Structure 1
Amino acid sequence: MTPLYAFYGDDFTGSTDVLEQCAEGGVPAVLFLREPDAALRARFPEARAIGLAGDSRSRSPEWMDGNLPRAFASLGNAAIVHYKTCSTFDSSPHTGSIGRALDLGVAAFGGPAAIVVGAPHLRRYVAFGNLFAAAGAEVFRIDRHPTMSRHPVTPMHEADLIRHLAAQTEARIALVPIDRIHADEADAAFAEASDADGVLFDGLSMDDLAATGAVLLGRKVGFAVGSSGVTRALVLAWRAAGIVTGAANDVRAAEVDRLLVVSGSCSPVTARQIAQAASDDYVGVRADVDALLRGETAEEERLIRAASDALGQGGRAMVHSAEGPLGSTAPAAGDRLGAALGRVAGAAIREAGLSRVLFAGGDTSSHGVAQLGIDALTWAAPIERGAPLVRAHAADPAIDGLELVLKGGQMGGDEFFEAVRRGG
């Protein structure tokens, strides 16, 4: 069966967010953690949406040139291919360039590409081309967001997304503004921009996403860039057109008695979660980041022993590299740190025979989970919006069936770790 939809996730956390949107819309989906060959795809014959989890968010444009075309080709002949970004759209000309990904996608699939960043289900909004995102109870313009404006690798200093992309690509970007969407003129506005390379859609509500999805489906757009707002827009359009009729998956997760948390996040949100978890009897194990970055196996072994001891005694352990924002001089080494933390997690999972683990932080999730030898992930159950429980499919019996939550730094309430252990 030809997939309705395929996506490449620029990190693992955002990729599982797409699985959640598909599950809520009744769309069977699978997320591959390696480029799928025929044998791997054949293991998931029911999937109508397929994805490939990547780590391009932390990569250079040159890396993208050498890797994204092959990754896009591996997704096959889906009706639309989506380059999935974080809903905060953070990127730069040198790291995680969404502009370069846009160029490569248009070259592969044709244009104009649809750019959909607003994700009301995650409290991310776009109005007249400007991005706004929630932090706690408040909503901030992204260049004033308390975390994303100070991101250690890709700080967002520009809220106007067309201007933001202009620093990364020479592509011509047009806008379907919110007033025209509300005037039922989204399709006309998109048609007027037919000579653009990309068309950015505003979005404040689910109704706005429904209008956007109708344009993408009706115009047979072949390539899209943006958040899981793309997925939600398409799901709404498919259901409205009767293309998808399956019931939403309403499975709930069971509680487990042991949980390992592995965090490379430096978000204030994650810092609060770490503090709360300490009050909930989680044993905190602080990593020596410098030692990990130097490749010292003794530090990895220390973390493995400490995590295994904590899991054996109280069942709750968290290995973390930070407790809040880093200084401006901190090195940008999320790939190496994430990989080291992934090796620690893999050893602790196998030693303790764990059934559930939580990774916190985009780079930690992408580079850490890559160390576990997982072939694919499927949706398992909801936990909190944007951070679902997923199930691993792997050749290693210790990893096959493992339940994971991959949490971006901004996701979750203060008691999120315990919510994951309890199953929501």
Structure 2
Amino acid sequence: MTISSPRPLLGCIADDFTGATDLANMLVRGGMRTVQTIGVPSSDEPVEADALVVALKSRTIPAADAVAQSLAALNWLRAQGCRQFFFKYCSTFDSTDAGNIGPVADALLDVLSGSDPGAGPTSAASALGVSSEADTSVEAFTIACPAFPENGRTIYRGHLFVGDILLNESGMENHPLTPMKDANLVRVLQRQTASKVGLVRYDSVAQGTAAVRERFDALRREGVRMAIADALSDADLHTLGEACADLKLITGGSGIAIGLPANFRRAGLLSGTADAGQLPPVNGLSVVLAGSASKATNAQVAAWRESRPAFRIDPLAAARGEPVVEQALAFAREHFTNQQPVLIYATATPDEVKAVQRELGVEQAGHLVESTLAAIARGLRELGVRKFVVAGGETSGAVVQALEVHTLRIGAQIDPGVPATATTGDDPLALALKSGNFGATDFFAKALRHLDGAAS
């Protein structure tokens, strides 16, 4: 395989597992050979790739823990030789007022700009052995752009839309862990950070790269450290991406990454690789596991159940100690005799989720679903399952940990934001890890066809 660069160029930190694959998918589409790690690797042994994505499970943990994990990931990525860094979060900006986007971005900026505020994020960096030796001429500035027009997420005047609907009216206001009740991202981010937050308005973006860079400079002079960036189309994301070529840190959803590979190519650091998304063939049984309660996943579960076998996990039954895991595995085993893939799901409507949370508590309910699906995943692997389609960021994180997956090679796109992936090493697994909100209604069947096709 041709090596585009002797060392990785772009180092990425994602706050959940499906978000990591979403970002990696975008980079592969841009011709960057991309490897995703599950957590921070324990070894600094060089990884052959153009881009590295460290997948954390930090979206909903306490902010201090998210900062510590993100700085550890940054330390590893810098040791790999990455030139630029990307902090990836959800395209719906999933984060409460006590959330992690602002604190993590602040901490990463502190390290990469060589600033020393004395306490807070940089203290955490020192404790983790992260060097803050950087070009002190680099001002601490970055953008925050979760826009992903291909999936209907756009930003205008700092307000995030899902399709034609404001974020806080899109259903995300009912999210069980990160309810989004304000569509104005400038306000949302400002409530999470002491840094001054500004806006790169669409007026500048529409005028092109030079105008965006002028806006960056103006915001810096105003003392702005982070700026929400408007974007309505992929063309806008290309403009923003080019304008960010000299920034040490970029933050946003996977959409903004669409313009980053071209920066490295223009600098003569990246050559196009036609096989950037090539994966090894994987043979074996197939299964779909769903834990997300999003509208999209609910629709995907309903579409599957119209004509295919499905087993529903009841969290309350699991809490009572009923043998839910054994029942699910018995159901799967019965259908595997005919090589028939099955869906095992805990997906429920928002009202059903709230009812379970009232009885078990929010944290316990989520943990119970994740641990149950993780145990089922381990049992399915023992039954010969080698191809997994998983819906939901938290669910995906629990499943890949249960399967002891450490590194993924990223393949071709299945649906916008969702690539096929395969584990490295002997006896590989094929996985499609889907954010709850992503994918067409027929995504489960489409993903299985895609993973099956990779084995032919």
Superposition TM-score, scaled by structure 2 size? 0.83
* SS across alignment from 1:204: coil
**Inter-partner Cα distance in structure 2 for 1:16 and 1:83:** 13
Give distance in 1, aligned partners of 2:306 and 2:14.
Answer: 34
Cα distance between partner residues in 1 of 2:224 and 2:319: 43
1:317-356 paired onto structure 2 within 5 Å: 317-327=342-352, 328-329=354-355, 330=357, 331-333=361-363, 334-351=366-383, 353-356=384-387
**Equivalent position of 1:183 in the other structure:** 207
Matched, 1:200 2:228: yes
Q: How many residues align?
A: 406
1:60 deviates by: 1.2
Q: Which amino acid aligns with 1:176?
A: V
Q: Secondary structure at the match of 2:224?
A: coil
Match of 1:211 among 223, 239, 250: 239
What SS class does the counterpart of residue 88 from structure 1 fall into? Answer: coil
Q: Distance in 2 between matches of 1:24 and 1:172?
A: 34
Tell me the SS of whatever aligns to 1:224. strand
Matched, 1:415 2:417: no
Identify which of 361, 368, 377 aligns with 2:408.
377
Deviations 1:52-77 (A, max 9, x none): 11111121113224432222212124
The one-letter code sitting in structure 2 at the alignment partner of 1:128 is R
SS of residue matched to 2:85: strand
Q: Which amino acid aligns with 1:93?
A: D
Q: Does 1:101 align with 2:104?
A: yes
Aligned to 1:264: 291
| Structure 1 letter corresponding to 2:260 | L
**Which is greater in Rg?**
2
Q: Is the 8 A contact 1:172 1:198 kept in 2?
A: yes
Unaligned runs of 5+ in 2: 1-5, 114-139, 452-456
Which position in structure 1 is the counterpart of 2:153?
Answer: 124
Whole-Å Cα distance in 2 between the matches of residues 12 and 52 of structure 1?
9
Question: What's the offset of the Cα at 1:365?
Answer: 0.9
Secondary structure of residue in 1 paired with 2:323: helix
Q: Is the CA contact 2:289–2:391 (under 8 Å) kept in the aligned structure 1?
A: yes
Structure 1 stretch displaced more, 53-62 or 231-240: 231-240
Structure 1, residues 89-112: CA drift from partner, whole Å, max 9, x if none? Answer: 111134x52112122212222221
Between 1:25-34 and 1:320-329, the stretch displaced more is: 320-329
SS at match of 1:423: helix
- Of residues 175-184 and 57-66 in structure 1, the stretch that sits farther from structure 2 once superposed is 57-66
What amino acid is aligned across from residue 163 of structure 1 in structure 2? R
8 A contact 1:126–1:203 mirrored in 2:
yes
Deviation at 1:405, TM superposition (A): 0.6
Give me the whole-angstrom Cα distance separating, in 2, the residues matched to 1:355 and 1:371.
14
1-structure distance, mates of 2:213, 2:319: 50
Task: For residues 13-57 of structure 1, give each alpha carbon's deviation from its aligned partner in whole angstroms, at most 9, with x where no partner exists.
Answer: 110011211111111110011322446x44x42x01111111111
Amino acid at match of 1:361: G
> Within 2, Cα distance between the matches of 1:56 and 1:101?
10
Write out per-residue CA displacement over residues 324-376 of structure 1, whole angstroms, 9 at most, x where no aligned residue: 3244452433344223312211211221x123111111111122221111110
Matched-pair contact (CA < 8 Å) for 2:85–2:249: yes
Confirm or deny: 8 A CA contact 2:280 2:422 kept in the other structure: no
Identify the residue that residue 23 of structure 1 maps to in structure 2. 28
CA distance in 1 between counterparts of 2:295 and 2:273 reads: 37
In the aligned structure 2, how far is the partner of 1:83 from the partner of 1:321?
30
Counterpart of 2:96? 92
Mapped pair 1:227 → 2:253: yes
**Structure 1: which 5+ runs fail to align?**
none
2:159–2:185 CA contact under 8 A, matched in 1: yes
Distance 1:293 1:65, change over 3 A: farther
The separation in 1 between residues aligned to 2:268 and 2:235, in whole angstroms, is 18
Identity fraction in percent: 26
Distance 1:153 1:97 in 2: 13
